[in-house]
Amino acid sequence: MPPVLIWVTTCISYVIQTRLLSKIQSKQFALHVAAITRDSSKIQTDHPSDDNGPNALTVYLAFMYFGGWLLLLPLSALIKDETRTSLLPLGGSSNQRPAAIRSPTTSSERGLANGADSVTPSVTSSTSALDIPPTIAEEDLLAVDELIIDRYSTMSTSDVLYYVAKLSFMSLTVVVPMICYNLALALCPAFEVVIMQRVSIFEITSLLYGVTNIAKRKSLFTKYVFMMVALLSILVIGYNKATCDLLDGKIKVNKETGELADPFLFDRLKGYLICGLGSLPIGLFYVFWNTWFNGPDANPKRQGHHLSMIGLISMIMLLPFFPKFPFYNHKISLLYSIKSFWLPLLFSVIFGTVPNLLSIIYLNRNYSPEYSTTTNLGSVILMGIVEYILDPESKTILKWEVIGYATVIVACIYLSVAYYGKRKFLR
């Protein structure tokens, strides 16, 4: 499948997810205000802590989001692993294959293939299944996978605990950003949240990839210049957008009343700060993902299993933060009973979360890790286009907005071409 198509799918699915979740959050906010207006005396008397009501839906949406990760377990098997190369010419016989990937035929060889103590030396040898690129023949690929699966099936208790600890750490690095992302959507317009989150992830991921030597150290200065051009262009877009107050510092005061013209300005600024800083742990997720779960012995199906486990652990982590159900039932139940809540949520998972994760798995597995970071810039560009098409208030576009979009598109194209490169693992 063309990588450009997967790249575009990653951006489109993220935009779909963000717009639908933003719609749910804005609907909940209106119902929350209406509930307080109708029965403010009862809320203040019986439930003085109800000011945290909007956070309740944030936890629910994050829980549902990670529920979509469980779908990766079966669907990841559809992703093709293109990192495998051929060690033999086409048509090579099985006798020409190295012993590490030759299918066991005798009883003694079957014993070596089934015993943990015997598999370890073959895996760590110079011609191991982890160091030899699988051949084109399908039986060779299956033989390698069988050896790797057998190795994992004989893991000791300490290995299992270490594996669970790694998954728990990875879960923590995605739970925090997701909570902050949903909380920001309740405070800010979707376009502004996209800018803050995508720019934050792009910056921290690019930085950590360079520090940890995951990214290639080629043409560093040129890439750095285009990264700065992209970031400055996004800043220009946010500053000059007619319907956006992002980082512009414009505090408009009503001269007649002396109050702020935008009473939610500081709430929005708070949302920017929460979303920007809360997205930083995603950089750790990508770094440790490529270190622990994207090595030579990995494949998309196994990675889907890891992500499903991370999603399950994340859901467990969110359980203590669930509000007391009877307490919030008078607000949350209103959303449960109408289609404007469930349909956007269902569509955000099916057409947003799942395609986005599958596309990222494909790009991160088959291409250089830094190539997938450019989808963050693509998401900002696409979100701006969608806002202009779908939102009537965004029809006004200024000259500097056009200049900002043009330069960020150029920078995004250059970085995508510069980072592009197919992975080839030696097994």
Over the stretch 205-254, which tens digit does the pLDDT of each residue have?
999 998 888 888 788 889 899 999 999 988 888 777 655 544 444 455 55
| Contact in structure between 11 and 382 (CB atoms under 8 Å) | yes
Mean pLDDT of the chain: 75
- Cα–Cα distance measured from residue 286 to residue 320, given in angstroms and rounded to the nearest whole number: 26
- Over residues 260-270, mean pLDDT: 67
Element spanning 370, H or E: helix 369-373
What's the pLDDT at 40?
Answer: 42
- Over residues 366-395, mean pLDDT: 86
pLDDT of residue 280 exceeding 50? yes
pLDDT of residue 312 exceeding 60? yes
- Cα–Cα distance measured from residue 174 to residue 360, given in angstroms and rounded to the nearest whole number: 15
pLDDT bucket at 273, cuts 50 / 70 / 90: confident
pLDDT of residue 14 exceeding 70? yes
| Contact in structure between 371 and 416 (CB atoms under 8 Å) | yes
- The two tokens of residue 162 are 């270490």
Q: Which of 66-70, 81-85, 260-264, 271-275 has the highest mean pLDDT?
A: 66-70
pLDDT digits 0-9 by tens, 78-122: 888 877 654 444 444 444 444 444 444 444 444 433 333 333 333
Counts of helices then strands in the chain (DSSP H, E): 19, 0
- Over residues 378-403, mean pLDDT: 82
| Contact in structure between 19 and 193 (CB atoms under 8 Å) | no
Range in 183-192, 194-203, 319-328, 401-410 the model is least confident about: 319-328
What's the pLDDT at 311?
Answer: 94
pTM of the model: 0.77
260, β-bridge pairs: 253
What's the pLDDT at 27?
Answer: 54
- The two tokens of residue 196 are 């803050």
Range in 4-13, 15-24, 47-56, 95-104 the model is least confident about: 95-104
What's the pLDDT at 315?
Answer: 93
What's the pLDDT at 153?
Answer: 58
- The two tokens of residue 405 are 């979009």
What's the pLDDT at 121?
Answer: 36
pLDDT of residue 43 exceeding 60? no
339, β-bridge pairs: none
- Over residues 24-47, mean pLDDT: 52
| Percent of the chain with pLDDT strictly greater than 90 | 33
3-state secondary structure of 48: coil
55 Cβ contact partners less than 8 Å away, ≥ 6 residues apart: 183, 323
What's the pLDDT at 56?
Answer: 73
